[in-house]
Structure 1
Amino acid sequence: MLGHRLTAVGKAPVETVIDSLSTLFTVDNEAIVKSMIPQLFPSLQFLEYFGFAHNGQVELTLDGDKIYTLKPSDPQRAGRAAFQPDSLPLAIAERNVLFSDRYFPEEKIYYILYNSCWGRESKAEFKSREKAASLPSFTEFGEKAFGILQGNPVGKIIFDMRNNGGGNSAQGTAFIERLARFLEQHPGIKTYVVIGRSTFSSAILNTMDFKHLTDAVVVGEQTAGKPNHFGEVRSFQLPESKLTVAYSTKYFRRTDEETDTITPDVRIEMSFTDFTKGIDPVYEWIKAQ
């Protein structure tokens, strides 16, 4: 089944399944559908509720003619299988770290992968100082970043937030403000900000920081989050069901224009063929500029 295209679930085309599952969340834009559907699709309960699965099993049609029947099982990690591409680009290989970087001397590109607006300082401020010690320090990361920028020939900077679902925007804003001052002193450096379907919440605010403070070119896909949005999420537990309820406490207004997404200056989406070959089309486009 790995590497084949899903075309139907039961007797329903996959487009119908997507349409039904999309009623389970607020559809602000196309990107939120692309982000949420892969998370909801594996739920047998949802597929049964909408009538796409029956009797505790689901029938999948692949490539338009191959039919496989799946039954639920205990999801032990040892029994899982995953498609193996030829290689993994940086944005995918290190998508589970909070932040990372790499300097490419031949291309004179400094690549910052910013997967989460979080770190040791944010954890200590908002949660637990004891647990914060196990997290990487964004302050130290920032000092390292500017050391690389000042000590190496850099022609292009990539700030990649396509996997960033948010956190605390303040640390990113402070970094971007400092970077903006650095770029004013080095006008020959081109800056690129990468966004995508998983860019949300505080990462949206940091994207707007780049748009307001720099001449960065925004590349990638439309964001799931909106420029003006509710945030500063808190939660409480219902006393009887013990379910956790999350709610927003602040409205962030970053633009006078009411839009449902941030649309990149240059739209580039990774295809499955790109993924199989280990190609990041965003990075390749930036490298060629």
Structure 2
Amino acid sequence: MWIDKWNEDIEFLKETLINKHKNLFFNITRESFENNIKELKGRIENLDYNDMKVEISRVIASIGDAHTAVKLPMNYLLPLEFYWFKDGIYVIKTLGEYKELKYSKVIEINNVPINEVLEELTEIISHENKSYLKANIVKYLQAVEILYGLMIVDDIGNFSMKFEGLNGEIKTRNINSVDINKYNELLLLDSENKEQSNLNKNDKEVFNKIPLYRKNNHKNYWFEYLEEKQILYFKYNSCRDVLEESIEDFTKNIIKFMEENNVNKLVVDLRNNTGGDSRLLEPFIKYVQENDKINKFGKLFIVIGRDTFSSALLNAFSFKNNTNATLIGEPTGGKPNCYGEIEKFNLPNSKFLITYSTEYYNLIEDDNSDSLLPDINVEVGIYDFINGKDPVLEYLK
């Protein structure tokens, strides 16, 4: 019976994407897509639940549209968080035990070299450029069931990992996965995720050493005035309204602050913004466009990066096209000319959530450009991260 249910899910996936996607075959031929579907159906009886997660992801990733993807349920995660720096994948956060692994480079997972692991993951992640892949592959590295489905690990509960410390020391540790509820509990204990009013003395010491771009990740938008340098730093984490302070009220407040204070430079940081509704920022962009004091070369800076995607990318383009802003940071995870405006559906039996594109955005003439590139390329290094430095703000000061 479960074979029939998976067949039903796969057929539903195929028909729904063909009928509802804006242009499903812009990158892959219909023949190749249908062959991928047929091949997966022929292997169902040899695949378990976690295998199916991976293989459905592989089929969808082959489409080549970062907005068309599968949102998989995850029950177990590694109590480690990773970041892809210039010279490799590093542990940037440890939850619970394993504190000695913080800032270590990942060498192997269950005796599989990390480069091979990355190659396997690349095949199942919907992406359009290297930046988006770098932003998302580290999340998949935490997903134990995905590693299991790729046959990188053979035990969801425990497996070995090899690391290289900053001093060059190689160490191997057995890592225990944690269920998602436990993971979320541990995450709430982390200083970076707490409200400032809830910080104890130790938390405050940690929080004060964190650079601005890593603070207040739970807030969709906020700003801070760096009085010494007369820099107004506006962090825009999500293009979504919140009840506590609407984006309309926030825009009024930040404009009022700019009118009443000596702001020499405005920095709008979109580097961690994966999207939402691009229209929310338009009134502020229009204000900046008409502000003769700030709308000048060397006064207005927009920070972009690997997580700048979808509506946040549209906002970055709006600044680029309508103001004298300088873009600084890394190439965006979003592709300038891309499919988007997602809709969703669930597969009937597994209930896997699928997103798909309903519109096409043609922002630039050069369709070969797979990222919006910064005018000034600045990348965070592992020692910047350890020392609480933001090379972007350091450059602007």
Please indicate the TM-score interval, normalised by the length of the shorter structure. 0.7 to 0.9
Q: What secondary structure sits across from 1:215 in the alignment?
A: coil
The residue number in structure 2 matching 1:283 is: 393
The match for 2:254 is 145
Q: How does 1:156-235 map to 2 (within 5 A)?
A: 156-183=265-292, 187=296, 190-235=299-344
Stretch of structure 1 that moved more, 83-92 or 103-112: 83-92
Given the superposition, is the C-alpha separation of residues 62 and 187 from structure 1 closer, same or farther in structure 2, using an over 3 Å criterion? closer
Indicate conservation of the 8 Å contact 1:195/1:223, yes or no: yes
What secondary structure does 1:171 align onto?
Answer: helix
> Could you say if the C-alpha distance between residues 65 and 15 of structure 1 is closer, same or farther in structure 2, counting changes exceeding 3 Å?
same
Ranges in structure 2 where 5+ consecutive residues have no aligned partner = 1-100, 192-205
Is the Cα contact below 8 Å between 2:297 and 2:325 reproduced in 1?
A: no
Q: Letter of the 1:53 partner, please give it.
A: V
| Contact 1:157–1:189 (8 Å) recurs in 2 | no
Q: Counterparts of 1:16 and 1:240 in 2: how far apart (Å)?
A: 32
Q: Which residue of the partner structure matches residue 106 of structure 1?
A: 228
Instruction: Give 1:173 shift.
Output: 2.3
Corresponding residue SS for 1:270? coil
The C-alpha deviation readout for 1:159-190, integer Å capped at 9, x for no partner, is 00001000000121232122101137864871
Aligned to 1:58: 159
TM-score (norm 1): 0.87
Q: How does 1:40-55 map to 2 (within 5 A)?
A: 40-55=140-155
Write the letter of the residue equivalent to 2:340.
G
Deviations 1:258-278 (A, max 9, x none): 110011111111112111111
Retained in 2: the 8 A contact 1:85–1:277?
no
Q: Does 1:266 align with 2:376?
A: yes
Residue pair 2:288, 2:294 contacting (<8 A) in 1 also: no
| Residue ranges of structure 1 left out of the alignment (5+ in a row) | 121-133
What's 1:97 paired with?
219
Q: CA deviation at 1:27?
A: 3.6
1:91 Cα deviation after fit:
1.0
Distance 1:59 1:251, change over 3 A: same
Alpha-carbon distance in 2 for matches of 1:135, 1:28: 35
- How far apart are residue 241 of structure 1 and its match? 3.1
Match of 1:9 among 109, 122, 135: 109
Partner of 1:25: 125
Q: Partner of 1:124 in structure 2?
A: none
Contact 2:330 2:373 in 1 (8 A): yes
What is the TM-score normalised by the length of structure 2? 0.64
Q: Distance in 1 between matches of 2:294 and 2:116?
A: 53
Q: Do the aligned partners of 2:270 and 2:304 also contact (CA within 8 Å) in 1?
A: yes
Distance 1:186 1:43, change over 3 A: closer
- Relative distance call for 1:12 and 1:193 in structure 2 (3 A) is same
Write the letter of the residue equivalent to 1:61: K
Is 1:119–1:135's contact at 8 Å kept on the other side of the alignment?
A: no
Equivalent residue in structure 1 for 2:175, among 70, 79, 94: 70
Q: Distance in 2 between matches of 1:186 and 1:271?
A: 30
C-alpha RMSD of matched pairs (Å): 2.2
Deviation at 1:109, TM superposition (A): 0.6
SS in structure 2 of the partner of residue 24 of structure 1: coil
- Worse overlay, 163-172 or 179-188: 179-188
SS state at 2:392 partner: helix
Q: Distance in 2 between matches of 1:11 and 1:109?
A: 48
**Which amino acid in the other structure matches residue 282 of structure 1?**
V
